[in-house]
Structure 1
């Protein structure tokens, strides 16, 4: 069954972001998939996800986005997994 589209942005405390980033870095370094919870939904990011960093500048603000992107594939359940 297909999941509903979702596009949200959630603000977390610095402490929560630091913890998530540390666990994310460990999973990336070990080339493992991992699970993360964002705004109440848990999901799995496969080890093959592509990581990018984006910088945007407007008239009155700047933004940096750390992004992981992957194609959906049912065969991803076989690799290791870390919980983020």
Structure 2
């Protein structure tokens, strides 16, 4: 998952930050990475929900675990992008 996020960030950094006018949906690799990221995210959430429903008697704990996973998959890429932007601005 971290590798996919890094690839998305490298692709974003290479094509969007330096050439914002050229970022269109002509790049199938970028779309492929986003779809792969979403597929892994949805697959993990569905598998986790099914597993927690069977094995975890405490429903509050199960909901908290799922919220943590949601936060990781949604917030981490945004956080990584912000860090790259801050570092890029401070270095240049």
TM-score of the superposed pair, with normalisation by structure 2: 0.27
Higher normalized helix content (fraction of residues): 2
Which one has the largest radius of gyration? 2
Q: Normalising by the residue count of structure 1, what TM-score does the alignment of the two structures yield?
A: 0.29
